[in-house]
Amino acid sequence: MAKFPTYPVILDNCAALSIADLKKFGLLSEGVIKRHSVSITGRNERTDVLITANLDKLQVVFTYQANGKTWHNSFNLFSQRSNIGNGLIYYFFCNRSYQRCRKLYFVGGLFLSRHALRNVAYYEQTLSSFTRNLKHCGWGYEREVDKLLKELKTVRKRYAGKPTKRFLYIVQRLESLHKREQLGWANFAAKYPL
């Protein structure tokens, strides 16, 4: 009889909610209970979530439908002063792992931190050493290049007659990726001769 496969759940494919998402939705303002409805999508799952945030109690409640049931998942928020002292950094407090985290993954109908999940991995962790070496030599940069080119269309190129720091970073990164790709294949051919 064949062995039951033990493939890990790939976290990159799972739907997720992060503190940055809550900030983007405007839910992290004090004194007011705010609500926002959002549809989150992963490769395997899609669900509509009603997020209720109450910063006075430092609590966030996710209300959603999964596996034929309505769930009310409550998470405490933990705030910490930033290292430069001008503001607060918020964290979720996971009910399963009892650790703080900035991102919750939607796996099996529950929102959990990656520390509470077993048999999970990021996509990069599942690659073989040969494939990782290929990536360092220029293979697989298309995704990053596409992302940078997409951002280049929306980023502000100049401010007060000078190029912005973000614009300069994107241009330099694209140039370095191009050089790395050209040099990478020569190094790869030397390391793995045919």
Is position 110 within any domain?
yes
pLDDT at 164: 92
Is position 1 within any domain?
no
pLDDT(44) > 80:
no
Residue-averaged pLDDT of the chain: 83
User: Got the DSSP string for 119-184?
Assistant: SEE-GGGGS-HHHHHHHHTTTTTHHHHHHHHHHHHHS--EETTEE-HHHHHHHHHHHHHHHHHHHH
Where among 90, 121, 152 does a domain terminate?
Answer: 121
The model carries a pTM of 0.70
Q: Which of 35-44, 91-100, 164-173, 179-188 has the lowest mean pLDDT?
A: 179-188
Same-domain status, 24 and 46? yes
Q: Which of 28-42, 72-86, 155-169 has the lowest mean pLDDT?
A: 28-42
Cα atoms found within 13 Å of the Cα of residue 179, Cβ hemisphere only: 6
Backbone angles phi, psi at 71, to 5 degrees: -110, 140
Same-domain status, 113 and 175? no
Where among 63, 88, 121 does a domain terminate?
Answer: 121
Compute the distance between CA of residue 68 and CA of residue 113 in angstroms, rounded to an integer: 23
Same-domain status, 77 and 20? yes
For residue 176, the enclosing domain spans 127-191
Q: Which of 33-37, 88-92, 172-176, 186-190 has the lowest mean pLDDT?
A: 186-190
49-96 pLDDT, tens per residue?
Answer: 888 888 888 889 998 887 778 888 899 998 899 888 888 899 999 989
Compute the distance between CA of residue 116 and CA of residue 98 in angstroms, rounded to an integer: 8
pLDDT at 140: 64
pLDDT at 169: 92
Under the banding of pLDDT at 50, 70 and 90, the label for residue 10 is confident
Under the banding of pLDDT at 50, 70 and 90, the label for residue 46 is confident
Where among 121, 142, 176 does a domain terminate?
Answer: 121
Percent of the chain with pLDDT over 90: 20
Structure tokens at 6: 């033990």
119-155 pLDDT, tens per residue?
Answer: 889 888 888 888 777 766 656 677 778 888 888 888 9
pLDDT at 29: 77
Same-domain status, 103 and 17? yes
Same-domain status, 117 and 139? no
pLDDT(191) > 60:
no
pLDDT(25) > 90:
no
